């Protein structure tokens, strides 16, 4: 696919620091831009800051600084946040830049000359927080419905844009272009709004009341209303009509916004463009709102999620984990809740388990068992299933991304991850490795696994770019990833592969859970790895196995799996925590002689220190488990070899 793609985010007000809401929009935009780049398109992503208006003037005055200095500081904070989150943009516009004010003034002059603007009188209930007048219908007990503060009656002469005359035209346009505003619920909302008469739009503020804005080119006693100024950023950043960059990217422009600024983008903006003789945008993509742990995010509730601090809690995978979560969790267009528990669950289940384990299993198997040279055996229905899953995931991903449905795109990729994990389970390469005659079959399996991981290193690039880059560093491709190369089944030679484990480490919410998991994982590595490497006898002899007699046994509080055993090794007694509570009652074990690893590093499991490990056998399928006991009697402490 080739073509051009131009996407914009809202330009953020510099009256607050970046939070989860701003971050979501910018992450979504960055993901979409990366996807189109991956598809080989010429992409331009614009973001920036909205710096004029009452709100900024007021907050700067309250801070005792000049509004420009205030805007400089917060604008830089936004920029830095995006940079540190690893978000890329091609341009960062600020509405206080001359390149912007020039284009705004040129458009105003054009509309004035064309008779699209007139001087009129206006009186109304004004909210300084919202920077707008409220109609009688909207007011709640004389107060602003948003800020719940008392409104001020203001009467003044202002300039008006003749927006009302575009009402019929706009209704027709929206009706004739079903995906102009999407998802559909927002299109319906706008059509509903347009059923009432559309008013002309006041586009100026007298300088006696507000100095902080762009002066009207035809009357410098006024500054431009901040929304009229702000919307034009999408055009001014490209240099305005006539600029080669504008001519290249404007025809394909798409906007991405939150539902809070729907009316300005779906009503004011198309009317402004129409009046100025500039073609309309292609699509307005509207997402909904995040709540935090079920509540509206607000400073007063103290629940504002600060994206950098949040991501930093998860170390080097924090940026990827944060973006994965917001993209996967929010159904585009619907409200969603940001809950830490859900975040940790997704991180552990989707990223650490499903994806991380697949990459680790596949790369470890290849690194351990690949010998090269021989031709791989023929493909079987198992490979065909994986190939089909890869094709299907790419098809669904393409469809989803065309509609900004990030959650569906990710679900499709994870269907493939599941298929690849099932392929490992079904083909059991570690078992094939034990039989020389199975070498060609093993080579086929390893090749398919390398291909599958390579595929993921490409399709995951827009969503988890850091992890995708690590996957590509381990498996390839080494050149710039391209969506066209995201196929499984065409690779005919095993590439050089590096082991890649711990792509996303699991996290727990408490220290004891984390310790338990680490200790269990370490034990599983020793005991239950499904692809055990060959070891030499001297390596085995480093494991000190001894007979131990269980002296006492009890359940570990709050744990379903763990038993705390006191065992005698003859000369000493030890505490050993064993994950066998679902198979043995404590009383069954007392008096039994078992085999333990006596020189295991001590570990703490659910707060109980454990000095060794009890050996047990188990099956994968039905989960049966049996502790190793002795066939004949031996004294506690006897060495097992």
Interface residue list for ligand MSP (CB under 6 A): 10-13, 21-22, 24-25, 50, 230-231, 233, 257-258, 260-261, 289-290, 297
Task: From the candidates 147, 340, 435, 525, give the one annotated as an active-site residue.
Answer: 147
- Cα(491)–Cα(513) distance, rounded to whole angstroms? 42
| Distance of closest approach, residue 39 Cβ to ligand MSP, in angstroms | 24
Distance in Å, CB of 281 to ligand MSP, minimum: 12
Q: Is 287 a catalytic residue?
A: no
Of 29 and 397, which CB lies nearer to ligand MSP in the complex structure? 29
Shortest separation between residue 11's beta carbon and ligand MSP, angstroms: 5
Residue among 299 and 560 whose Cβ is closer to ligand MSP: 299
Residue 562 token pair: 């763990």
Shortest gap between Cβ of 80 and ligand MSP (angstroms)?
A: 16
CA distances from 398 to 20, 75, 160, 392 (A): 27, 34, 44, 10
**Which tokens go with 400?**
């989803």
Instruction: Report which of 448, 550, 456 is spatially closest to residue 503, judged by C-alpha positions.
Output: 456
Q: DSSP 3-state assignment of 385?
A: helix
Residue 296: active-site member: yes
Q: In the complex with ligand MSP, which residue's Cβ is closer, 261 or 344?
A: 261
Q: Judged by CB, which is closer to ligand MSP: 284, or 393?
A: 284
Contact partners, residue 160, CB within 8 Å, separation at least 6: 117, 118, 119, 120, 122, 200, 201, 202, 203
Q: In this complex, which beta carbon is closest to ligand MSP, that of residue 239 or of residue 398?
A: 239
- Residues 6+ away with beta carbon under 8 Å from 345: none
Is 127 catalytic? The answer is yes
Annotated active-site residue 435? The verdict is no
Q: What residues pair up with 28 in beta bridges, in sequence order?
A: none
Smaller CB distance to ligand MSP: residue 291 or 428?
291
Of the chain, the end-to-end C-alpha distance in Å amounts to 63
Choose the catalytic residue: 177, 221, 295, 296. 296
Q: Is position 144 annotated as part of the catalytic site?
A: yes
Q: What is the dihedral of CA 320, 322, 328, 332, to 10 degrees?
A: -120
Cα–Cα distance between 71 and 53 in angstroms, integer?
11
Q: What's the rounded Cα separation, in Å, for the pair 633 and 630?
A: 6
Q: Is 58 exposed, middle or buried (0-12, 13-18, 19+ CB in 10 A)?
A: middle
Please tell me which residue in 130, 162, 583, 592 is annotated as part of the active site: 130
- Residue 477: asked if its preceding bond is cis (omega within 30°), the reply is yes
Q: What kind and span of H or E run contains 153?
A: strand 152-161
How far, in Å, CA of 636 to CA of 595, rounded?
Answer: 9
Does residue 564 have an active-site annotation? no
In whole angstroms, how close is the CB of 128 to ligand MSP at the nearest point? 16
Catalytic, out of 100, 125, 127, 283: 127
Q: How many CB atoms within 10 Å of residue 369?
A: 18
Nearer to ligand MSP, 75 or 363 (CB): 75
The number of C-alpha atoms within 13 Å of 544 and in the hemisphere containing its C-beta is 10
Q: Which residue is nearest to ligand MSP (CB)?
A: 21
Q: How is residue 372 written in tokens?
A: 């090269």
Active-site annotation, residues: 19, 22, 127, 130, 144, 147, 296, 299
């Amino acid at each position: 696919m080739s073509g051009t793609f131009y996407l914009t985010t809202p330009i953020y007000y510099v009256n607050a620091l970046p939070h989860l809401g701003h971050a979501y929009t910018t992450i979504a935009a960055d993901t979409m831009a990366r996807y189109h780049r991956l598809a080989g398109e010429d992409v331009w992503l614009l973001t920036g800051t909205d710096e004029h208006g009452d709100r900024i003037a007021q907050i700067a005055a309250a801070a005792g600084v000049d509004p420009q200095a205030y805007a400089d500081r917060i604008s830089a904070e936004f920029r830095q946040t995006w940079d540190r989150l690893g978000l890329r943009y091609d341009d960062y516009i600020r509405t206080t830049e001359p390149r912007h004010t020039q284009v705004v003034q040129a458009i105003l002059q054009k509309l004035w000359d064309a008779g699209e603007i007139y001087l009129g009188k206006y009186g109304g209930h004004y909210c300084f927080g919202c920077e707008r007048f409220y109609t009688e219908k909207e007011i709640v007990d004389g107060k602003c419905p948003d800020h719940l503060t008392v409104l001020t009656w203001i009467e003044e002469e202002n300039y008006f844009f003749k927006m009302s005359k575009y009402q019929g035209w706009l209704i027709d346009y929206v009706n004739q272009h079903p995906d102009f505003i999407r998802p559909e619920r927002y299109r319906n909302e706008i059509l509903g709004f347009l059923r009432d008469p559309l008013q002309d739009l006041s586009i100026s503020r007298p300088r006696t009341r507000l100095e902080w804005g762009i002066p009207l080119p035809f009357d410098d006693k006024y500054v431009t209303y901040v929304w009229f100024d702000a919307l034009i950023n999408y055009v001014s950043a490209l240099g305005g009509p006539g600029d080669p960059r504008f001519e290249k990217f404007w025809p394909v422009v798409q906007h991405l916004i939150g539902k809070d600024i729907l009316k300005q983008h779906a009503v004011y903006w198309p009317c402004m463009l129409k009046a100025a003789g500039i073609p309309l945008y292609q699509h307005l993509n509207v997402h909904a709102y995040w709540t935090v742990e079920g509540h509206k995010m607000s400073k007063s509730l103290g629940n504002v999620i600060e994206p950098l601090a949040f991501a930093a809690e998860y170390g080097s995978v924090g940026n990827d984990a944060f973006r994965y979560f917001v993209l996967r969790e929010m159904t585009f267009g619907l409200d969603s809740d940001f809950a830490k528990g859900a975040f940790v669950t997704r991180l552990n289940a989707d990223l650490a388990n499903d994806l991380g384990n697949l990459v680790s299993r596949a790369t470890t198997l290849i690194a351990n068992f690949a010998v090269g040279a021989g031709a791989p055996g023929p493909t079987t229905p198992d490979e065909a299933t994986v190939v089909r899953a890869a094709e299907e995931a790419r098809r669904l991903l393409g469809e989803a991304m065309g509609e900004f449905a990030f959650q569906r795109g990710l679900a499709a990729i994870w269907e493939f991850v599941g298929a690849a994990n099932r392929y490992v389970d079904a083909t059991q390469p570690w078992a094939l490795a034990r039989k020389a005659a199975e070498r060609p079959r093993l080579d086929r399996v390893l090749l398919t696994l390398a291909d599958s991981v390579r595929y993921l290193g490409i399709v995951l690039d827009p969503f988890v770019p850091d992890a995708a880059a690590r996957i590509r560093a381990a498996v390839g491709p080494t050149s710039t990833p391209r969506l066209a190369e995201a196929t499984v089944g065409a690779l005919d030679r095993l590439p050089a592969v590096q082991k890649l484990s711990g792509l996303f480490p699991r996290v727990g919410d408490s220290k004891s859970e984390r310790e338990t998991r680490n200790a269990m994982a370490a034990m599983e590595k020793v005991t239950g790895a499904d692809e055990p490497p060959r070891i030499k006898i001297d390596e085995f002899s480093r494991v000190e196995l001894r007979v131990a007699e269980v002296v006492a046994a009890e359940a570990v509080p709050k744990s379903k799996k763990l038993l705390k055993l006191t065992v005698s090794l003859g000369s000493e007694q030890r505490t050993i925590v064993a994950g066998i509570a679902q198979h043995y009652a404590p009383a069954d074990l007392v008096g039994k002689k078992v085999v333990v690893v006596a020189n295991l590093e001590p570990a703490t499991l659910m707060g109980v220190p454990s000095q060794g490990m009890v050996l047990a056998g188990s099956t994968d399928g039905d989960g049966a488990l049996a502790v190793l006991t002795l066939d004949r009697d031996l004294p506690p402490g006897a060495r097992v070899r």
